[in-house]
Amino acid sequence: MRAFVVTKYKEPLQEAEVPEPTVGEHDVLVRVEAAGLNPLDEKIRAGEFKQILPYKLPLILGNDVAGTVVGVGTAVRGFKPGDEVYARPHQDRIGTFAERIAIAEGDLALKPASISMEEAGSLPLAALTAWQALVERGKVRPGQKVLIHAGAGGVGSIAIQLAAHLGASVATTASGSNADFVRALGADTVIDYRSQDFEQLLTGYDLVLDSLGGETLEKSLRVLKPGGKAIGIAGPPDPAFAREAGLNPLLRLAVAGLSRKIRKQAKKLGVMYEFLFMRASGDQLRQITTLIDQGAVRPVVGKVFPFDQTPHALQSLSQGGIRGKAVIGNS
């Protein structure tokens, strides 16, 4: 089976022949038709998560998939060969930059009927991140004010639509050239990050979804109202994440140190900071599927690369300029 693998951290992906996936009794074997590209893939390739996600090399990358079921384990009841499906595989079982992948039944959902394979392949990680930030943790309600950074990006473009669907007033940061694009997604207020300072223009927000970290995250705390919450997906990780990830005591201490400054700033301002490392969930994907097929949320695919250009496609993420998601496709 052909796949693109990391053989050594910080080196480009290499195409290789790898063994066929092992299909357990609760697993579904999927022929990969499309795979989304994510900054997470590049961070794993660069070794940024090797302390908290100790992958063994060589490693097949890829965290998004849409495809066709070609086999099922003996205990699988919800899927059959021929079903069109999509998923974000569990973090311990990534590997969608390959011809086939075995995925736990609980992490899988039927593909939305109204969209293409490439569109479905763009969705799982970004849509689950938006859902877990806004619905599960943020509990966004009608009339609340939500700030979503990098609104033209993969997560941002879905999060704007979801927040608007939930009835929130949505602000976002984007380049001036993307202002009309993010307004069409549902943004009420657009801040041009190149010429405007969002901290000077926004106040009294209930929730911020931050995908940038650093100074942007620090400033985001200051646009929240008392009791508001900033959810970061670019770090730094917090003690709650360390506990949930089952890290050893020494690593838990190190993780707590990474986020101590931002948590201290949040406490002083009377607001909260939480780190989100999204998790796989077939159940949540099914709820997202309903929204997509109802037309409440639409995927945004900025570019589709052929499978054999996967290494180049991953490198291209750092160049920016792609609205929504870039996807590897077989068509």
Average pLDDT over residues 109-113: 98
Q: Is residue 267 classed as helix, strand or coil in its secondary structure?
A: helix
Q: Give the pLDDT confidence score for residue 331 in this predicted structure.
A: 60
Q: Give the pLDDT confidence score for residue 319 in this predicted structure.
A: 84
Yes or no: say if 44 and 125 are a contact pair by the CB < 8 Å rule.
Answer: no
Average pLDDT over residues 291-311: 97
CATH of domain 138-275: 3.40.50.720
Q: Give the pLDDT confidence score for residue 53 in this predicted structure.
A: 78
Yes or no: say if 307 and 329 are a contact pair by the CB < 8 Å rule.
Answer: yes
Yes or no: say if 304 and 118 are a contact pair by the CB < 8 Å rule.
Answer: yes
Compute the residue count for the chain.
Answer: 331
Question: Please, which pLDDT band fits residue 95 given cuts at 50, 70 and 90?
Answer: very high
* Residues in contact with 159: Cβ distance below 8 Å, sequence separation at least 6, in sequence order: 129, 130, 133, 134, 148, 151, 209
What type of residue sits at position 144? Q
Lowest mean pLDDT among 87-91, 124-128, 236-240: 236-240
Per cent of the chain over pLDDT 70 is 100
Cβ burial, residue 163 (10 Å; 0-12/13-18/19+): buried
In angstroms, rounded to a whole number, what is the distance separating the alpha carbons of residues 152 and 150?
6
- Look up residue 278 and give its two tokens: 């999204």
**Between these two residues, 330 and 265, which has the higher pLDDT value?**
265
What's the pTM? 0.96
* Residues in contact with 184: Cβ distance below 8 Å, sequence separation at least 6, in sequence order: none
Cβ burial, residue 179 (10 Å; 0-12/13-18/19+): middle
* Residues in contact with 236: Cβ distance below 8 Å, sequence separation at least 6, in sequence order: 213, 255, 258, 259, 262, 275
Q: Give the pLDDT confidence score for residue 54 in this predicted structure.
A: 79
Q: Give the pLDDT confidence score for residue 320 in this predicted structure.
A: 79
Average pLDDT over residues 145-174: 98
In angstroms, rounded to a whole number, what is the distance separating the alpha carbons of residues 175 and 76?
46
To the nearest whole number, what is the mean pLDDT of the chain? 95
Q: Give the pLDDT confidence score for residue 49 in this predicted structure.
A: 82
Segment 217-222 long-range contacts (CB within 8 Å, at least 24 positions apart)? 217/262, 217/273, 218/262, 218/265, 220/147, 220/149, 221/262, 221/265, 221/266, 221/269, 221/271, 221/273, 222/269
Please give the CATH architecture assigned to the domain spanning 2-123+280-329.
Alpha-Beta Complex (3.90)
In angstroms, rounded to a whole number, what is the distance separating the alpha carbons of residues 164 and 279?
23
Yes or no: say if 273 and 260 are a contact pair by the CB < 8 Å rule.
Answer: no
Q: Give the pLDDT confidence score for residue 321 in this predicted structure.
A: 82
Predicted confidence (pLDDT) per residue in 265-286, tens digit: 999 999 999 999 999 999 999 9
In angstroms, rounded to a whole number, what is the distance separating the alpha carbons of residues 267 and 317?
35
Per residue, the 3-state secondary structure of 135-201, as one string, reads: HHHCCCCCCCEEEECCCCCHHHHHHHHHHHHCCCEEEEEECHHHHHHHHHHCCCEEEECCCCCHHHH
| Domain spans of the chain, in order of start | 2-123+280-329, 138-275
Predicted confidence (pLDDT) per residue in 11-20, tens digit: 999 999 999 9
